[in-house]
Structure 1
């Protein structure tokens, strides 16, 4: 019995003092799951870093690579975990086998501790054999993982070419190469790069001296009418040699409780900038002298209300004598202007003065410019360009042209009601009911947003194009924008780009309006109740009906507050007048963002009403600032004809139809569209096409067309003066810097085209088939009938 107890003591002593190998084994067994997780995460990280460092690989292929690498490294980690698990299982004491071996050892002679020594030798040999098996298994696992990794890399790299080829066949009408396609969609237009803005005086232009009197004006109307009228007033003040008092903007003056921080002219524009910019042209003051203010209140000064087509001779013959006599002349402007757009050829300096006012002196106040810059930065935050689109869906304009039948339900009634009022005022000299579809075929109605989306898609603009929706009023609401938003999900406006706090800061602090909540009926006295009881009918009488539900202020605002109750539109409330003032600010923001846009598409410009419209002013400003910019000048009559020809397959157009649309819109960007716009819009608003008076040409090329004259004999294009030498040198230096910066991009685009030359020569039928399939897939999401 003694040797057995000694043997137990020796065995316990050996187990109680673990070796370094035993401690490592126990730590690996305890933390094997954590080890496998670390290996898997390291595999994911290394594979992603490897794949995302390859610029020509598609995102989906990169994800496949990452998964394959992770699987390969995970396989190695699992192999190691399996080996550790096997060793752990083998190293545990077994109940049956261990007992048998112990009995065998105990059956051996134990004289002098010889049995204990032999048992320890056997255990050491067993551990050494298992260590060699672990190394062998780990080596086999790592080898298999490396082979699997190489196989995955070979298969993935071999499949990359197919993905790139499929991507390049996305648009079969444009040549291969993203750079070239980008230039076609976003410009610049090479045929108009020679035109540069130049509105400085050309001839003798003296500084104003002795003045004949003061002119103060009140301007009514929307944003576009205000801007055009201010330019005409400055030209009239120069013509009459008068001092101009900063005009009053009635939309902001008559609004009650508007912010006292911004009033009248300063509600939109910077007064100090306006006065300083015109110091060499016209003397501008903020208000009349004190002695003349009192007489103004008593209306002692003569008043004139000119139309937008008033000639300069009217002012020199009729207004100038009265101005010299009374020293003050009041002008009421409500027609969007007070001087005819096209002036005689000897008055070109007055046309350039209009340009200096519109494009240099009329600067928005700092708050509008700051918020406008933020909006432009947010639109270009992804590093790409954006397109601005103005639908032109204004209720008064739609009523003027008789486009009521293009809408449904209550919107048609609202347009017809407005048209009826225009007929009573004498603005419209036509029947109340007209054929709206015939008007649209003639180009007298705007393109609906769905049609604009189809045209942009035909031009090749991808679905992720950022489109800014301009305009403070879009008659028809969000319902009419649903098809366009389905085609281009990145359709944004000021409400989605700016926070409510930013917009409220732009408005400024305003006084609260008086509450217009429904007042409860007066409480009747006991005597009145008794008298009513006596005068009532026989008993028993039915209970009176319950009181009607009260109507709150928000239910009375807008057209939906009266259209279902009365046949006449009530006078605008205080809130309606305040909202009209706010629309001036929203139009100012949209104007700023549209002028700075990389491309502009008008929905309803040059409508033929004779009033200046928002889109035409934006197009004129963009043409003056950068004539080579992408500014579409579409012919609505031509586009409506093309859309009608494919009415049944608009979402699956033919190749020929797409080519016709692209040919028309591309021509509208160049000289052809430039001349057509001059013939149609300049007669209504000079600011919509300030050429050739406010421009110069950097060089005379053989491709330049000759003098293009209008039907009335006015010069439209081709006789621009050459730019001064200092401007030519500055443009040359700027172009050299730009060319040096673009060389790398051009080489990259050429390499991309050369590498995929075989794809550009692929069968067009396959391209048509893939394009049709892609259109059918998109059509399931953008069907307007859903």
Structure 2
């Protein structure tokens, strides 16, 4: 049997042969067309899928570009001026019709014989979650030990904004000084063209009490040492100024600010509004509480007149046992303009508001892409309540025309027109201007923060506080009231989105139906007023100034429930 042998030709292919030496032709090389075709098909399918994907992506991109335009166009057509041109009806609640609603319901309001709500029994909600047992406050021993090592340097801050934004900055400044082991210079107040108040710290707060109350926690001085001022040519603006990010963390201060303070010995932070996060160590959070509820005491001129105003409100509220309702009404001309809302004044009102916005904020409201939609603002609950709307709400909640009301506000926009309906519903309406003589108010005229301090104090000691628009004033006041009144804010905070729907002029709506809705809204304010947020260590999400418990509870004293012992606030 002949065996097969393998030979390799010059081309490298193996050939089979029998025992003879006669060569057989080499086998043809394997054909590659099948794999090539497979690759070509794969490339073709990939190209096709890529092409299809590109087409789909372009279509999606087209939709992404078109949909926002359609959305904005829809808003303009529904709630903008275009809706009137094409005859579309406005969405419910988008147009101010509260005046027509009041005129239709006024006969029912006048002859409503139901029993009026008692001011002393408004707040009856019993929270399911009770406050934990009060713990003693952190003592100043640790801080004193730190100070004994020597302070790192001096901290200067410039507080901007109105009364309560400045208050927030002061509390945060003390907290930052404690964090950095710095000596705090009494905060400087920045002059702002909106508030136009040149007041200094000592004009609004008692400087000596502020320094004494913080002794042992944070060292506070009224001025920088003369030797340090000479280094900067006696000009504080020559001192190195840091721009700190908003809501800066403890880590940011220790990593970015502390080294600069160590190197220079003095730093200035401007502006200083909202420049410290809410999540801070317990002993730093305690400093905020200590400043807000003990160290910050209004100056003697403010405290003296504020006490008189509170006592006069109590005297004028004899029909309701000396208890009264305070309302923070944000219906000043600049607030109405800033809100971009309209109140039934037609084209003349629109032109007037445009002019005020241009004068006060220049091109802020004319930026490219910015669209002013008063109707949408109203539906979303962003419009300040009018005096008429506040009156309807309170009468619906059960407050009768014997209720004394204190109105905390600056000059009301078109006051004669807008206050008339409120006076019809609540004739016992008072303001600081009606309670104090012109001679008593003369030293405060032209100082918006000092006037706001008077309003703040009268509102603080009211039985019911009504907030009608957001801002620092109601947020600080609600927190202060929680601190004084055992954790309950005793505050009516209306659901404005719901309210604008109820106030649209519909023949089908009745006074009884409106009252039922308002009483449900009051019950909800009662429930929310006693809420205590769950605060875990280093995990606070809400403001300690609005919700002071549990961290500030250790500062509560048994006498912190009445007016007399707290009139220095």
TM-score over 0.5 for the alignment?
yes
Deviation by residue 1:488-543 (Cα, 9 ceiling, x = unmatched): 11111011000011112x44xxxxxxxxxxxxxxxxxxxxxxxxxxxxxxxxxxxx
Matched, 1:689 2:547: yes
- What is the root-mean-square deviation in Å for CA atoms of aligned residues? 3.8
Matched, 1:291 2:151: no
How far did 1:349 drift?
A: 3.0
1:456 to 394, 398, 402: 394
Q: Where does residue 479 of structure 2 map in the other structure?
A: 620
Q: Between Structure 1 and Structure 2, whose CA radius of gyration is higher?
A: 1
**Distance of aligned partners of 1:688 and 1:394 in 2 relative to their CA distance in 1, 3 Å threshold:** farther
How far did 1:664 drift?
A: 1.8
Q: Where does residue 13 of structure 2 map in the other structure?
A: none
Matched, 1:337 2:274: yes
Q: Where does residue 518 of structure 2 map in the other structure?
A: 661
How far did 1:293 drift?
A: 1.6
How far did 1:326 drift?
A: 0.9
Matched, 1:585 2:450: yes
**Distance of aligned partners of 1:406 and 1:353 in 2 relative to their CA distance in 1, 3 Å threshold:** farther
Q: Where does residue 218 of structure 2 map in the other structure?
A: 282
How far did 1:477 drift?
A: 3.3
Paired with 2:334 and 2:551, the residues of 1 have a C-alpha distance of: 32
Matched, 1:643 2:503: yes
Deviation by residue 1:353-401 (Cα, 9 ceiling, x = unmatched): 2122112111101121111111111111134211100112355554444
Deviation by residue 1:128-163 (Cα, 9 ceiling, x = unmatched): xxxxxxxxxxxxxxxxxxxxxxxxxxxxxxxxxxxx
Matched, 1:311 2:245: no
Deviation by residue 1:321-370 (Cα, 9 ceiling, x = unmatched): 11111111111126x43223x315xx233223212211211110112111
Paired with 1:421 and 1:316, the residues of 2 have a C-alpha distance of: 42
| Structure having greater relative contact order (Cα 8 Å, sep ≥ 6) | 2
Contact 2:205/2:296, CA 8 A, preserved across alignment: yes
2:190 to 246, 250, 254: 250
Q: Which residues of 2 match residues 291-690 of structure 1 at below 5 A?
A: 291-296=227-232, 297-298=234-235, 299-333=237-271, 336-340=273-277, 342-343=278-279, 347-381=281-315, 382=318, 383-394=321-332, 397-404=335-342, 412-413=350-351, 415-417=353-355, 419=357, 431-504=369-442, 506-507=443-444, 579=446, 582-605=447-470, 612-626=471-485, 627-628=487-488, 630-644=490-504, 647-648=506-507, 653-671=510-528, 674=531, 685-690=543-548
SS at match of 1:389: strand
How far did 1:433 drift?
A: 4.1
**Distance of aligned partners of 1:636 and 1:270 in 2 relative to their CA distance in 1, 3 Å threshold:** same
Paired with 1:489 and 1:470, the residues of 2 have a C-alpha distance of: 16
The aligned length equals 436
How far did 1:673 drift?
A: 7.0
Paired with 1:214 and 1:440, the residues of 2 have a C-alpha distance of: 47
Paired with 2:323 and 2:393, the residues of 1 have a C-alpha distance of: 18
SS at match of 2:121: helix
Contact 1:390/1:601, CA 8 A, preserved across alignment: yes
SS at match of 1:275: helix
Matched, 1:227 2:167: yes
Paired with 2:495 and 2:368, the residues of 1 have a C-alpha distance of: 24
How far did 1:478 drift?
A: 3.9
Higher mean displacement: 265-274 or 438-447: 438-447
Paired with 2:335 and 2:542, the residues of 1 have a C-alpha distance of: 15
Task: Give unpaired runs (5+ residues) of structure 1.
Answer: 1-168, 508-577, 606-611, 697-722, 736-786
**Distance of aligned partners of 1:212 and 1:667 in 2 relative to their CA distance in 1, 3 Å threshold:** same
Contact 1:193/1:628, CA 8 A, preserved across alignment: no
Paired with 2:282 and 2:360, the residues of 1 have a C-alpha distance of: 35
Q: Where does residue 203 of structure 2 map in the other structure?
A: 267
Contact 1:240/1:320, CA 8 A, preserved across alignment: yes
Q: Where does residue 91 of structure 2 map in the other structure?
A: none
Q: Where does residue 45 of structure 1 map in the other structure?
A: none
SS at match of 2:531: helix
Paired with 1:308 and 1:199, the residues of 2 have a C-alpha distance of: 32
How far did 1:300 drift?
A: 4.2
Paired with 2:197 and 2:543, the residues of 1 have a C-alpha distance of: 34
How far did 1:221 drift?
A: 1.9
Paired with 1:364 and 1:257, the residues of 2 have a C-alpha distance of: 16
Q: Where does residue 213 of structure 1 map in the other structure?
A: 153
Paired with 2:492 and 2:151, the residues of 1 have a C-alpha distance of: 44
Deviation by residue 1:227-269 (Cα, 9 ceiling, x = unmatched): 11111111111111100000112349999998xxxx6111100
Q: With the length of structure 2 as denominator, give the TM-score of the two structures.
A: 0.67
SS at match of 1:380: helix
Paired with 1:257 and 1:300, the residues of 2 have a C-alpha distance of: 24
